[in-house]
Amino acid sequence: MAVSLDDLTTGGTIRRMTRWTEPVMHRQTRPVTAFDEELHTLIRDMFATMEVAEGVGLASTQVGVDLAVFIYECPDEDFKIHKGVVCNPEVELPTGKQRQLHAADEGCLSWPGAYQLLSRPDRAVCRGVDANGDPVEIVGTGLLARCLQHETDHLKGIVFGDRLSSRARRQLDERHEELRHLYPDDWPLSPKA
């Protein structure tokens, strides 16, 4: 029986946020092949975790699961909030004259507290399937375009720090170290200090 998005965004259990130093964050994920209660429980837990961590997107690797699924609740360039689930995502980015880069501070719940300027295309189309295995396509602009790229990267074993210059990555890591004491090892199970 198909499950609704509303059902998937409530009733979850908060999970610990995986950090960039953990191996699951640097491996390609397994494709989703079973659209069952186990997947739906994971998605509910991801929504609960993202909400308490105050994020706009969350990949399964960020809760320690190597499955190709991410969730989002994120505004576009017009501040309209989009919410959903994408399994087995592929992102298409503009090319040629259509490609416009936008530089903005980017952060990651798995490297909490640190932000760094990163240029990404200002538009992205993400295709995959939803929690029921039905095809989905999200056209993202503004922060939503960045979110779709960021979360899909996670599922390919890429953290946004991998996209920075060596100098920018050092600055990001230094800022993370300065603020790390605010985030307990089991954050967000334990609140930020």
Which are the catalytic amino acids? 151
The CA distance from 174 to 139, in Å, is 34
CA 179 to chain centre: 21
Of 16, 14, 26, 13, the residue nearest 66 (C-alpha): 26
88 burial level (CB within 10 Å; 0-12, 13-18, 19+): middle
Residues 6+ apart with CB under 8 A from 170: none
Structure-token match 């990651």, residue found? 108
The CA distance from 1 to 92, in Å, is 31
**Partners of residue 104 on adjacent β-strands:** 118
The CA distance from 153 to 110, in Å, is 13
Residues 6+ apart with CB under 8 A from 36: none
